[in-house]
Amino acid sequence: MLRLHDTRTRRTEPVVPQGARVLRMYTCGPTVYRPAHVGNLRAYVFADLVRRVAERRGLRVIACQNITDVGHLTDDADDGEDKVLAQARREGRSPLEVARHYEDAFFRDTLALNIRRPEHTPRASETLDLMIELIARLIERGHAYEAPGGAVFFDAASFPSYGEISGNRLDQLKPAHRIDAVDERKRFHADWALWKPGEGELTWDSPWGRGFPGWHIECSAMSLRYLGDRFELHTGGIDLRFPHHEDERAQSDAATGHEVVSRWAHNEHLLFDGRKMAKSTGNVVLLSDVAAEGLDPLAVRLALLEHRHRQQMNLTWDTLRAADRTLRRWRRRVAQWAESPSRPIDPDRARPVEQALDDDLDVPLALRLLRDLERDESVEPGSRFETFLHFDHVLGLDLSSEIGKVPVLPPGAADLLLQRERARAAADWAASDRLREELSGLGVAVADTPDGQVWTL
């Protein structure tokens, strides 16, 4: 059974109860005002990996991932301008044009990374009715209050267990870093906006006047609508743990009267060349930049899989090039093994890989075990072929993409290559040399590499 580290309980726990057949999971989606960089994309590779492992374990996964196209301000502390609106002004386009442009770009990138599209991808701008209804319910239950001017705030003090995800308890929270940024309409400085008054583009009518929703209320409204008032897993980047996920949990639980999300799982930050990826530091890397370097976009996926999701990761161009070489080598090897007769997967080799994946997604260990299998010439090529393709359903690396592109071996050559692999494994160098000569006579040139023999016609 798949187990993940729960950020709230600080324990590694099963993602679903014993005997469950469905996993419902919510992932905080992109704010579509700029291209997603590879640091942003780590969260979606993580969620996709959870989905793939769960499905291999027989679970039906129902995933929801929102599109934030309104309400996310340039300062997460309920201040500043809407990010989409600000970008629209810079680009001289309408907010709708900007949002749809970057939404399309995001889905192209996720497709290039073999990230499966969730069953539900609601847009914030198209689900305002859900948010207004939820805000009204929170007011009715005494967890939110109207303020002068048409604002509505969540009453943080009305939710005593606030802080269980991040450890930031209400009695320890201090006012915003700019003391003049504290809204005097708030009863308590840690309260946050559910509805903000405003005019112009990206505003709507509501019972409290014209305005727009707060960022946090969007995810509560959409997850409750599409996954129900109890679901198993919520994922996202570690930067969302506070305040976004704390606020979201408080809203959802206060509205329903019970714990809505069973497990909270977060992936750590991605650094590039030792620094957090940011426009201000000039080290933002897009997936298009990776392709421009001649690297397969799935090299990014493999590089991300080489690290545990809960570990901060430092990505470099050298790391990406190494991942690209591994990816291409594995595809060649799978194509070569495809020329041999199929053989069953050895359960003693597959089981440790499955256990690693189930153990809080220890993909680095799973990859090391597969590398060991790749080099183990005592295992039939047909068995290695079946094993690699079996786990590629989880890894999502398109390892079968070179099958059929490898030149066809002459009759008898595949058997000679297999004999030579076994001779090398047994350190029978005389037989290895003799078989190389026989293969050469058939027009097959064989070279020995640290990763095994490779052949060309």
Tell me: is residue 133 an annotated ligand-binding position: no
Q: Is 64 annotated as a binding residue?
A: no
Q: Is there a binding annotation on residue 28? A: yes
Phi, psi (deg, nearest 5) at residue 66: -80, 165
The tokens of 391 are what? Answer: 């786990």
- Other beta carbons within 10 Å of 22: 12
CB atoms within 10 A of CB 210: 13
- Token pair in block for residue 433: 């040399």
Task: Name the binding residues for Zn(2+).
Answer: 28, 219, 244, 248
Task: Name the binding residues.
Answer: 28, 219, 244, 248, 279
Task: Name the binding residues for ATP.
Answer: 279
